[in-house]
Chains A and B, each alone.
Chain A
């Protein structure tokens, strides 16, 4: 039993608890201010909220704010961190209370939801054209909704296949040189079987199955796209819909393949999150954030490869945290000034040196030791620049879309019927798109 005391709770108590929790979160948010230099004597500071991610990332942002304030801006910034777990719920609670900061960090896929709620201001007039043209196409795609740019990240994410060269060589695998040469999925499956022959438990691949949550959508929607399917596409009337796409034959086939790997025992359940780093598996489906750990474990034996090609060419995930200016911000120009500062190539490089993410500007990519020519993570940058990265659907209904897909993928992972799981997900999504009051949403805007 969850709790020991005899608390005979009804629904009312649950709701009351939620209201209280919301209030506490809002209070907590106010109290968590990072030690940044105080406001100047005259101008009121620009409030900035960011997620408290990894330690290194947080320190890098603190240092950036300090550098900016020391450079004598018209308005200094006051930086606050909110815990990453439940970040979106906290910001939503603050939004309901009319308490948003000027410059707000968001998890990329939720951007459309915030725009739909009327919380954000377009950045089109606030960032110079030269800067916008230097941004990776994936960064622009993620920040755009209904024809306008609302958010810009200083970095993007990378998704690929990590492998151990020595084991792959023994299995006789030819390593693809770039995203265009990704293994066709049939060859990938044959490789899994060959690797399994030399493996004590036969599990040779880590899919991050233990991660769940947003990882499922981020990591496996690209497989659907690579097969020619996907999550959403515009229907005959131009409105987004899941029916025929998410539950279409291509998507079903892609997930049936992945289910086959799990069924045959090729996938490590990875409950200890150490399957690849400890050497239990030869291949791992993973993101740029895994690189420091894997590099430390395997050194020169570590290779980074594109995800397998399910038929229409290899596809990958993208998207990360983005900066937005809120509609309620009284001095958007001052907020944008700090954003422009964060987007300077040297500041982007300072941040990506801390978190190993893909720099958001081409000029910064070129100078990055990880992503520049010959860099070990070059593949991630090539995938993003070469249009192989598929953004998660930009729709205000995203919370429902991702919840439905995650549930469907969990069913696939548990060996249930793939077509039925995807059909249920598509129905739930289409109903929400029709009823949620989101208006007409054209795809790819």
Chain B
């Protein structure tokens, strides 16, 4: 964006109307996104506490300095990165496989599609409670029992959500299960938009299924894939609900995230300034991530 040389506008009248038409949306954005964000930046430079009778005083970058010394913040940063690095490729890959599989016609396709999409409709809170029960410790827990049967009794039951090594992967699996259906549907729609003639032409040229996938399907899915990856990455940084319900950031700080730490600071400890500093860091990270992604993929089409 912004690199093209300015072209002479052939429809100046429409541009004026366009500005009027976008004005309400821009006003809304300014009022509900830009203004509060500037507020957050301002708050993060003070020691404001929720409901304190004492006014806030300016403390400069102290809140940010504390964040850098806070093991919970560093753990949250690491967990967010691990979460994104794990969930984005796995979830996107799985969604692509499902979409490819469900593109073919076979009996039971419609119910299967519905079934796979169903978790997306569930509130995350419900999904998290359900998986907490599935991950129950001891041989009675469903996941433990399944692994024990599958491994012919070799599996030692463990307490997934309270085990520092397993808690984050367990939450990631839950998230993938819940979110994969949405990406699958986006990719299915993308697949259906690829003209059949391209496949016919590829077959005429002697391309097998793998080469058809590489040279027809993937390029045709470029924009939906970019969209899916970008959205999943942003959501991976926003992860909160599962953490709040399944692990509360524990054990230790093994599953805490930036959003979780921000909510705890602002509303549990009532340290609003600290929460504001966390959300500013969070915003810059997501901004940087979006920018990086667009650079790397040289994305030109405007998505969504």
Chain A residues within CB distance 8 Å of chain B: 1-4, 6, 8-16, 18-20, 89, 92, 95-96, 113, 116-118, 201, 212, 269, 271-272, 399-400, 403, 410-411, 413-416, 424, 432, 435-437
A-B contact sample (18 more), CB < 8 A, given A11-B282, A12-B37, A435-B47: A1-B91, A1-B175, A2-B240, A2-B241, A10-B282, A14-B259, A14-B279, A16-B33, A16-B36, A20-B32, A95-B51, A96-B51, A271-B132, A399-B270, A410-B248, A411-B251, A424-B71, A436-B49
- Write the nearest CB–CB distance from B19 to chain A, whole angstroms: 23
Query: Does the CB pair B159–A12 fall under 8 Å?
Result: no
Chain B contacts for A424, CB-based, 8 A: 71
B156 to chain A, nearest CB (A): 13
Query: Given the known A-B contacts A416-B251, A436-B52, are A15 and B241 also in contact in the complex, defined by CB atoms under 8 Å?
Result: no
A206 to B152, CA, bound (A): 31
The 3 tightest CB contacts between A and B, nearest first, are A12-B37, A414-B251, A11-B279
A116 and B50 alpha carbons, distance in the complex (Å) = 12
13 A–B pairs (Cβ distance < 8 Å), ordered by A: A1-B236, A2-B239, A9-B238, A9-B286, A10-B287, A11-B37, A11-B282, A95-B51, A117-B53, A399-B269, A416-B251, A416-B252, A432-B269
Give the Cβ gap from B163 to chain A, nearest Cβ, in Å.
Answer: 8
A-side contacts of B86, CB under 8 Å: none
Q: Which of B32, B262, B268 contacts A399 (CB 8 A)?
A: B268
B162 touches A411 (CB 8 A): no
- Contact indicator A13/B32 (Cβ below 8 Å): yes
The count of chain B contact residues (Cβ–Cβ below 8 Å) is: 68
The minimal Cβ–Cβ distance linking B139 to chain A, given in whole angstroms, is 8
Verify A271–B49 contact, CB threshold 8 A: no
Contact of A9 among B50, B230, B234 (CB under 8 A): B234
For the complex, what is the distance from the CA of A117 to the CA of B53, rounded to whole Å?
A: 5
Query: Closest B-chain residue to A401, C-beta based?
Result: B269
B40: chain A residues within 8 A (beta carbon):
11-12, 15
- A427 to B212 alpha-carbon distance, docked (Å): 61
Contact between chains at B270 and A2 (CB < 8 Å): no
**B214: A residues at CB distance < 8 A:** none
Complex contact A10–B286 (CB within 8 A):
yes
Instruction: Report which residue of A14, A96, A201, A411 has the largest number of chain B beta carbons within 10 angstroms of its beta carbon.
Output: A14
Residue in A closest to B263 when the chains form the complex, CB atoms:
A14
* Interface-central residue, A13, A403, A414, A435, by most chain B CB under 10 Å: A414
